[in-house]
Structure 1
């Protein structure tokens, strides 16, 4: 039973996958657990960066760079600007003690990981070799500008409309 775990961690790629997966899950859990908004933004940034690491492991370098530039960089900075430009109340909220809730939460977490551990130990995974294209960024570009050009342009229009709507809402709040 433990031989499968030793075989899994003998590969560096599997070890990095495990590390990035733990960071992604941990960042997501911390994001919904924290009460301070700045801590939430840092947790989201950790999640975004760990997802970019998973993309690198999958040999999807274009997606990894897009993840870092757009999400980890752009969205996190946008959230920080939003925090700085809005007014917040100075008072701290009193957090109520919920011991039963916490106990049930930990029992559920341990049960889920126990089930997953058992399932992974009993599963047999197919051994196959994935043949990735030589230049996956070139293939994404070809696909994006030939077969998927209409959804690509519709997405740009949607983002422009959302940007204009955000400006209108921000101007309306100033008045």
Structure 2
């Protein structure tokens, strides 16, 4: 069972995958553990950037670029603007059940890790050779503007309506 682990770490790309996976999981855990909202946003942005690294490792450069632009950039900035525009009270009191919560959280994480580890080690993954596109950005563009042009246009209309609605709501609160 453990021979698969040595085989896994013998490849450099698998090692890089493991590091990015740890960064993603670490950012997610920090996000739910932090108490200050700005620190949570930074942890989420760290997870988004690590996920973009995984996309580069999978040779999906366009998806990685979009991940950085939209999630790590725009969504994180949007969250920070939302935090700056709202009022927050100081919450200095920590809950008294926090040590027990942390112990139970650690036991749950280790149990989940053990179950997932066992499932992956005993699973039989068939190896398939899939022909990859030479220029995946060109292929994505061709698919969007030929096969999926109607959903693409509907999504742009939906985003425009949401943007106009946000402006109307902001104007009402200002008055």
TM-score when normalising by structure 2: 0.92
Alpha-carbon distance, 1:36 to partner: 0.6
Alpha-carbon distance, 1:16 to partner: 1.2
Q: Which residue of 2 aligns with 1:154?
A: 154
Q: Which residue of 2 aligns with 1:92?
A: 91
Q: Which residue of 1 aligns with 2:41?
A: 41
Q: Which residue of 2 aligns with 1:12?
A: 12
Give the distance between the partners of 1:5 and 1:57, measured in 2 at CA: 20
Q: Which residue of 2 aligns with 1:101?
A: 101
Alpha-carbon distance, 1:61 to partner: 0.6
Query: Which of 39-48 and 121-130 deviates more?
Result: 121-130
Q: Is 1:172 aligned to residue 172 of structure 2?
A: yes
Give the distance between the partners of 2:91 and 2:105, measured in 1 at CA: 25
Alpha-carbon distance, 1:169 to partner: 1.5
Q: Which residue of 1 aligns with 2:130?
A: 130
Q: How many residues align?
A: 174
Alpha-carbon distance, 1:39 to partner: 0.3
Equivalent positions of 1:16-95 (< 5 A) are: 16-89=16-89, 91-95=90-94
Change (3 A) 1:109 1:130: same
Q: Gapped runs of 5+ residues in structure 1? A: none
Give the distance between the partners of 1:106 and 1:5, measured in 2 at CA: 23
Change (3 A) 1:170 1:93: farther
Q: Give RMSD over aligned pairs.
A: 1.5
Give the distance between the partners of 2:96 and 2:120, measured in 1 at CA: 36
Give the distance between the partners of 1:88 and 1:104, measured in 2 at CA: 30
TM-score when normalising by structure 1: 0.92
Structure 1 residue matching 2:147: 3-state secondary structure? coil
Query: Which of 34-43 and 125-134 deviates more?
Result: 125-134
Give the distance between the partners of 1:173 and 1:153, measured in 2 at CA: 31
